[in-house]
Amino acid sequence: MNWTQIPLGPLQTNAYVLMNEKKEAVIFDPGGNGPEFINWLKDQSINPLAILLTHAHFDHIGAVDEVRDAFNCPVYIHQEEEHWLTDPNKNGSSRFLGDAAISAQPADHLLTSEDLLHIGEFTFEVFHTPGHSPGSVSYYLASEGIVFSGDALFKQSIGRTDLPGGNHEQLLKSIHSKLLELPEDTTVASGHGPTTTIGEEMDGNPFLSGF
């Protein structure tokens, strides 16, 4: 399998395209630039099987409906944010985008537990990692040594917790009990900025000192 990081939308949020040899793919957090992103997927002959959302802040969901409609693929989100897609007040777009506030249709599947998630040939471990937002989740693909962490953990930083539903202590607990338990060579595919590894953040992330 291989994956591609594509910054999209007003905040250049990282979307990720994880693809197997048959060009079946899982899309993470398509944050915007829907027409351009869809054209790129079609030009690459990629067949998206699903859209997995790490959480429902506006900068992660801007192209959800366009991609879903273009490829007829289902959207997954944690049950804690079931209503955030449809509500600009909850997803933050009314606060940050004003008259350009966005919404999307409800998700097709709600994640309710930390079970294995099977989508075609892809199998993810789903970790509930709240703190940045109540329904934040991370998707770990053990076979490829990568975790799609959304806005929980960044290179040399962590997610902000000053937005509605954020909780700093809860985020630190999520990172410590879920993400830092992964092998140190695990790639962390974050919602913004460059990728990193669990080991790098254990050793040098100033927000995680003492962990």
**Which helix (H) or strand (E) covers residue 64, if one does?**
helix 64-71
The dihedral sign for the CA sequence 19, 24, 30, 35: positive
The CA-based angle 53-58-62, given to 5 degrees, is 75
Please, are residues 131 and 171 in contact by the beta-carbon 8 Å criterion?
Answer: yes
Q: If you ran DSSP here, which 8-state letter would residue 173 be given?
A: H
Per-residue tens of pLDDT for the chain, all 211 residues: 999 999 999 999 999 999 999 999 999 999 999 999 999 999 999 999 999 999 999 999 999 999 999 999 999 999 999 999 999 999 999 988 888 899 999 999 999 999 999 999 999 999 999 999 999 999 999 999 999 999 999 999 999 999 999 999 999 999 999 999 999 999 999 999 999 999 999 999 999 976 5
- Distance, in Å, from the CA atom of 88 to the CA atom of 91, rounded to the nearest integer, reads 5
- The burial class, CB within 10 Å (0-12 / 13-18 / 19+), for 116 is exposed
Which pLDDT value is given to residue 169? Answer: 97
Q: Which residues, 6+ apart, have CB-to-CB distance to 44 below 8 Å? A: 23
Please, are residues 139 and 179 in contact by the beta-carbon 8 Å criterion?
Answer: no
How many separate helices (H) and strands (E) can be counted in the chain?
7, 14
Q: Which tens digit of pLDDT belongs to each residue from 115-169?
A: 999 999 999 999 999 999 999 999 999 999 999 999 999 999 999 999 999 999 9
Helix-, strand-, coil-residue percentages of the chain, each rounded to 5: 30, 30, 40
Which pLDDT value is given to residue 41? Answer: 98
Q: Per the structure block, which two tokens stand in for 80?
A: 């804690």
Q: Per the structure block, which two tokens stand in for 105?
A: 């249709």
Q: If you ran DSSP here, which 8-state letter would residue 73 be given?
A: -
